Amino acid sequence: MRLSRSLLPTLKENPAEAQIVSHRLMLRAGLIRQTASGIYAWLPAGLKVLRNISQIVREEQDRVGAQEVLMPTLQSADLWKRSGRYDAYGPEMLRIQDRHKRELLYGPTNEEMITDLFGQTVKSYKDLPQVLYHIQWKFRDEMRPRFGVMRGREFLMKDAYSFDLDYDSAVATYRRMLLAYLRTFQRLGVRAVPMRADTGPIGGELSHEFLILAPTGESGVFYDAALEELDWLDEPVDTNSPVALEAFFNRVTTPYAATDEMHDEAGWQAVPEERRREGRGVEVGHIFYFGDKYTRSMEVSVSGPDGNQLYPEMGSYGIGVSRLAGAIIEACHDDNGIIWPDAVAPFRAVILNLKNGDELCDAICERIYNTNEEAFLYDDRAERAGVKFADADLMGHPWQIVVGPRGAKGGKVELKRRATGERHEMSVDDALALVLAG
């Protein structure tokens, strides 16, 4: 993408309405613009971030056997009346009527719809287990939407739902999904600590939430440093083995970890002092096991091994995709702007042409850009070098390829790593190899 032709409107000053770092930087870096209270349009660079996050989430769901579907945003109120949640959910649900006076709602979550879809298609225990997920827009009519995409009314979410024959297989699915979440957040370039959580209005008996550590997080967190030592990308967990899953689950859930709402001082004091970590966190995921709460209330059953009808055991698993974009910025920024992890950045690098019109500078910039147009943002604007450097830091590209007249004469560029500030002069080929690696 050439910056001179892009819809990437950066701002020099902090917008008055933005109260937290991620909201300020997303507006200043040209990622989003507000269209109504708590509702945002995602501009081209912001949309690329959303797609990168979604793809990693999708790959890790597929890895544990979940199947992707796509459910509509509008749901029939009759489904929620069957489960008993229509009146109980509260004013956050946007209730509407169509021209025929049929009651509909803009889905805040999908337990009822997926249970109904499952009931229409699966009739026998032989077709279990089933894990279905989608990445779809949700709407919750927050009374006080704030903090940009962190607490908006419309948001993009991955929600998955599992159906199992019995308790043991449902818990195995839950543990498998917990591992998928840990791998997902690690691939996104952030550390998310799993913490035992209240099940809230969704209900259930087993629940964990995942919080990205960030100084500006809305929740206080307390955890054992042992959780910092776990590497889930290379963890040799056999997800088909109940024994391996049990061992994995114990490793994750035994160390103390709690938000301020669930904090237990007695349990905290049992953690050796040198391993106690305190800070702030942003919730980006939540998983639940709730048994037959929805299959029973909605009368969705399958024939069991003995021929009798039984209600499958369910779980639900949510990740806030659009919220993650803000949460990552909360954890990954400095005074100059965003510092995107490589995996989610809208571009691998920005090319900074310090002298537009110089034959050598222009030729080197074009050569780099044409190597992989999707990977590079080419700042070809007729702006001062200081403006280009400031915008590059603000937008947070992992690499900056600086092309100036002096280096261009020798076929050299300067490569800057945004996260560390390290700069090195090297050949164009060496710079491309580093930037495009991985």
What is the structure's pLDDT at 234? 65
Runs of H (alpha helix) within 254-358: 265-269, 293-297, 321-331
What is the 8-class DSSP label of residue 362? H
Q: What does the block give as tokens for 210? A: 């995942």
Single-letter code of the amino acid located at 230: L
The Cα–Cα gap between 318 and 285 comes to 6
The Cα–Cα gap between 172 and 315 comes to 11
Q: Is the dihedral of CA 167, 170, 172, 178 positive or negative?
A: negative
End-to-end CA distance of the chain: give it in Å, rounded. 20
Same topology between domain 3-338 and domain 349-436: no
Q: Which residue has the tokens 């100084």?
A: 215
Query: Which among 195, 183, 216, 208 is positioned nearest to 326, based on CA atoms?
Result: 216
Q: Is the dihedral of CA 10, 14, 17, 20 positive or negative?
A: positive
Residues 325, 48 contacting (CB under 8 angstroms): no
Taking CA atoms, 415 is separated from 131, 332, 424, in Å, by 45, 20, 5
**Which residues 6+ apart lie within 8 Å of 199 measured at CB?**
205, 206, 207, 288, 290
Give the pLDDT confidence of 21-38 residue by residue, as tens digits: 999 999 999 999 999 999
Give the pTM. 0.94
Orientation angle between helical segments 21-28 and 321-331, nearest 10 degrees: 100
Superfamily per CATH, domain 3-338? Bira Bifunctional Protein; Domain 2 (3.30.930.10)
What is the residue extent of each domain of the chain? 3-338, 349-436
What is the structure's pLDDT at 438? 64
The Cα–Cα gap between 143 and 425 comes to 53
Report mean pLDDT in 10-residue bins for the chain, 438 residues.
93 90 96 96 98 98 97 96 92 95 96 97 97 97 90 96 96 94 93 80 73 86 87 75 89 90 92 94 94 95 96 97 96 96 97 94 96 95 94 98 96 96 96 91
What single string gives the DSSP state of each residue in 316-352? EEEEEHHHHHHHHHHHSEETTEE---TTT-S-SEEEE
The class (CATH top level) of 349-436 is alpha beta
Maximal CA-CA distance, the chain: 81
The Cα–Cα gap between 298 and 290 comes to 14
